[in-house]
Structure 1
Amino acid sequence: MKKLRLLVHLLLILTVVAMSACSNTQSSGKEKKTIEVALWDKNASPAVDKSIEAFKKQHPDIKVNVTYTPWEDYWTKLKTSIGGGKGPDVFWMNGPNFYQYASSGFIKDLEPYIKEDSVYKKDNYFPAVVDLYSYEGKLHAAPYFIDSVGLYYNKKIFDDAGVPYPDETWTWEDIEKVGEKLSDKKKGIYGYSADIKQSQSVYYDLIHQAGGYIINEDKSKSGFDSAETKEAFHFIKRLIDKGISPSAKTVMETEGKQLFLSEKVAMIPAISVSAGEFKEVLGDHLGVAPLPKGKKAASIVHGIGWAMNAKTQNDKLSWDLMKALSGEEGEKVIAESGFSIPAEKDISDIWLKSIPSLNLKVFLDAQEYGVPYPISKNTAEWQDVEMKEIQGAFLGQQPIDKALDNVAKKMNEILAKEKSK
């Protein structure tokens, strides 16, 4: 009997200990939550990591796990995980995919968090990126950085050819005229890269410089079949036909950016985010100038925002992390890193000093004649059509004008469906 009582007593002690351990584990689990973060560009990691460290000082018991997924797989992976009720708590959002995520309820409306926050002010950010990430008048992604397009050039190639560097007076005519002088078939050097895979930095700008548009203001009509748009694409074709720019087949195999970094291209239009990467590879050979004008000056303006998963169980912590990343201190970090122009207006000047040897003011000045990145509810759908038709035309599958007419027709059908829903 004594043995039985002793056994029961021991079992009770073990039960209490086990319950206590379980309780401590649960408590510890609550204290050590993990915030999952997702983005695609590892070049942003120094700035992102520094902002996360600042967040962890305020939340020492919170773990932040950052996943970098290559651009080619990012959106497929993100949509699959979020559609399945999971996915990261906080992640990068871009313009082409924003409407789909916002209208599908995949990301949270940030206005309730902003309303309760005494520090975060939407008015502090460039209006273009605030508008870009507003759905039904409400901000759904916190602006992080903006980008515009400039003309990067290789000083050594210019010097070797005895040609003056590009400046603010340049037009399309200069691209063609100087591009011919810089092109050298024997050395495999092209004067200019009109990589038709790069819509924002290549043909979107040219379309607006010619006086055309990609999509009209009320998002009901495509501008791809206009005379101005066709003029822009025939300019690209002329550069390729003259050997000034690599062919579509060439850039399918080796993209224009890689040719520029290999010093096989003298000039390339590219976004401000490329400045740090180009400088690291090309060093003192690198220069930058405003985009040459067509009938007028134009530079496509885009930007990245931080979005919050609508299904997150850690919304308050996620908002605190988003503020650490895109609030005043986070914006200073992204500016000082040289990665791109911070979305907060008053901090943008810090970025100008991040690469002293480059005239980064080119990209800030571009805001004055900047054109917002074209988007609608189903941007990704009509951009897929656009890409296939245009690339097919430059690969010789059909005349350019016919391809552009096809883009406009199919795009108008997609836009009509958007309006009917």
Structure 2
Amino acid sequence: MKISKQVKGKLIIFILCMVMLGLTSPAFAQQKTTVKAMMIGFQMEDWIDPVTGTTFNGFSRMVEKFNAERPNIELKFTSIPWGALIGPYAKTLSALLGGTADVIQTRIVYIQTGQFEPLDEYIEKDNYDLGKLIAHSAKVTRQKVAGDKEAHQYMLPIYADARLIAYDKKIFDDYGVAYLSHKPTMDELREKGTKLAGTNPVTGEKTYGLWFEGNYSAWAFLTYVRAFGGIPILENGSRPNFTSDASLKALRWLYELREKEVIPAKCAAISGDPPGWLSKDNKHAIRLDHNLAITFLAKERGLVERFGVSLNVLNKWGYAGLLGASDVPAGIAKLSENKDAAWEVLKWLLSEEVQRFRFDNNRVFPVLEKEISQWMKEDNLPYADVIAEQMKLGDPLIGNYTKVITEGRMVIRSTISKLLALDITPEEAAEVIQQEIMTKVIL
């Protein structure tokens, strides 16, 4: 049977249509690689500042943008709150060991599980510049694990944090005391804090010289131990010594100032700022170990001229306070089947676009060293130069939680709270911390 030209033409068109439909079907569509990221503390939904009423964008917008711009990768992003009921680190460790996430943010100590993929080849292949990150922040995530002949870059910091010292200039002026120096010492803090405690000669109100956050004290305590020349925690696995001369000096410093009411009694049980802090009704002269939120709060409340900031206490190694950048870094799980795509996600998290978004919308400071001061000045935020310098001087040994502080910080907190309540002596506190950590934390 002969087929007419007209029928042949229709058959050809039909076949071509079927081929085109087949090529555009899901089976022939470009396959996407799914990357699962499990991170900590990302603000995913839009939120409103309760003070200013300003609306900020949630990070879910950035995830949507990532997926729209990359036809080859589907990013599934999970964020665990810092205060999660079970604990964010337990969840991320479970994901790491169970292979349920590709990119994981967690405590740096989990590098030693051996379950993170070395990043060296990716860094070399892309000529990725680690020098753009805050000084020291990537160095401490370069480690040896069991079986390694040399250290590898297992994780990278994705945010930055630090602590500095803040003070109320008005209280200093009322007492006729010179403002804190740019780099105050433990002696200067003791001397000026003592002078600023008592009855304000101008207002007649009671003031306190120093505020120490007694219920969140692990980082600050280590800062002071280091300032007195001690190394209570060693990265080489040596036994910690919290009964050392430096540890006792730090504990006695706190105890004596509390005993003289330079530090108020209520700080023993409070986590956070003292009552009235960063307000016109403030009665605390110096706030030790202050977080970086002061730059936003002082500006919003119109108190930039009243409150000043100084660097945290320097130690003999040239560091000041903690470097909170590499303590909770991110890496690629060794069990991931999509490591190349996971590396693209990790780079994206460190990109200027993402770092700027989190700074603008989530008030998370960038780990990009040059951008810290630059972005703060662009936004007319106060204390930019001091904060940028504090980031560079942050002590990686303190910010880099070892096993002792990861698991033992509650021992330090509870013991120092008792010390500030004057329930135990510095010598007793040192023994308690040492014994508790050695018997309950060190395995």
TM-score by length of structure 1 reads 0.74
Q: Does 1:252 align with 2:269?
A: yes
User: Following the alignment from structure 1 to structure 2, what is the Cα–Cα distance between the partners of residues 123 and 379?
Assistant: 28
**How far does residue 209 in structure 1 lie from its aligned partner after superposition?**
1.4
Of 282, 285, 289 in structure 2, the residue corresponding to residue 270 of structure 1 is 289
**Which one of 296, 305, 325 corresponds to residue 303 of structure 1?**
325
Q: Deviation at 1:138?
A: 1.5
Change (3 A) 1:280 1:338: farther
User: Which whole-Å CA distance do the structure 2 matches of 1:67 and 1:323 have between them?
Assistant: 18
* C-alpha contact 1:394 1:400 (8 A) present in aligned 2: no
What are the Cα deviations for residues 353-391 of structure 1, in whole angstroms up to 9, with x where unaligned?
256452332233346654323443554234344334333
Q: How many residues align?
A: 392
5 Å matches for 1:13-412? 31=32, 33=34, 35-40=36-41, 42=43, 52=63, 55-59=66-70, 62-71=74-83, 73=85, 74-76=87-89, 78-79=91-92, 81-82=94-95, 85=98, 88-93=101-106, 97-99=107-109, 101-116=110-125, 118-136=126-144, 137-159=151-173, 163-168=177-182, 170-183=184-197, 189-199=207-217, 201-216=219-234, 218-247=236-265, 250-253=267-270, 255-256=272-273, 260-261=277-278, 263-270=282-289, 273-279=292-298, 282-284=301-303, 285-291=306-312, 298-304=320-326, 305-331=329-355, 339=363, 342-353=366-377, 356=380, 358-366=382-390, 370-374=394-398, 375-377=401-403, 379-409=405-435, 411=437
CA contact (8 A) 2:295 2:382 kept: no
Q: Percent identical across equivalent pairs?
A: 18
Q: Given residue 262 of structure 2, which amino acid in structure 1 is its aligned partner?
A: I
Tell me, which stretches of 5 or more residues in structure 2 are unaligned?
1-20, 46-55, 145-150
Structure 1 residue runs of 4 or more that deviate by more than 6 Å after TM superposition: 25-29, 294-297, 335-338, 413-416
Quick check: 2:97–2:115 contact (8 Å CA) kept in 1? Answer: no
User: 1:342 is paired with a residue of what secondary structure?
Assistant: coil
Q: CA deviation at 1:404?
A: 1.0
Q: CA deviation at 1:224?
A: 1.6
In structure 2, C-alpha distance between the alignment counterparts of 1:220 and 1:82, rounded to whole Å: 30
| Maintained 8 Å contact 2:292/2:387 | no
CA distance in 2, matches of 1:259, 1:124: 39
Q: 2: CA distance between counterparts of 1:25 and 1:281?
A: 52
- The Cα offsets for residues 74-122 of structure 1, whole Å up to 9 and x where unpaired, read as 42552464267265543433xxx322x2222444332343243x24233
**Structure-2 change in CA distance of 1:302 and 1:188 (3 Å):** same
Counterpart code for 1:302: G
Alignment deviations for residues 228-275 of structure 1 (CA, whole Å, 9 cap, x no partner): 22111111112222222233x544245336663563533223355434
Matches of 2:316 and 2:118, distance apart in 1: 40
Distance in 2, matches of 1:370 and 1:387, equals 21
Q: What does the per-residue CA deviation read over 1:26-75, in whole Å, with 9 as the maximum and x for residues that have no partner?
A: 78896494744421264998695676466345326735434241335442
- What TM-score comes out, normalization by structure 2 length? 0.71
Report the Cα offset of residue 326 of structure 1: 0.7
8 Å contact from structure 1 (residues 221, 415) kept in 2: no
Alpha-carbon distance between aligned partners in 2 of 1:31 and 1:332, rounded to the nearest angstrom: 27
User: What is the Cα deviation at residue 307 of structure 1?
Assistant: 2.8
| DSSP 3-state at the match of 2:128 | coil
Q: CA deviation at 1:276?
A: 4.1
Q: Higher helix proportion, which one? A: 1
**Which residue is 1:10 aligned to?**
none
1:183-202 C-alpha deviation (Å, 9 max, x unpaired):
46785653321123334652
C-alpha distance in 2 between matches for 1:258 and 1:88: 42
Contact 1:92 1:306 in 2 (8 A): yes
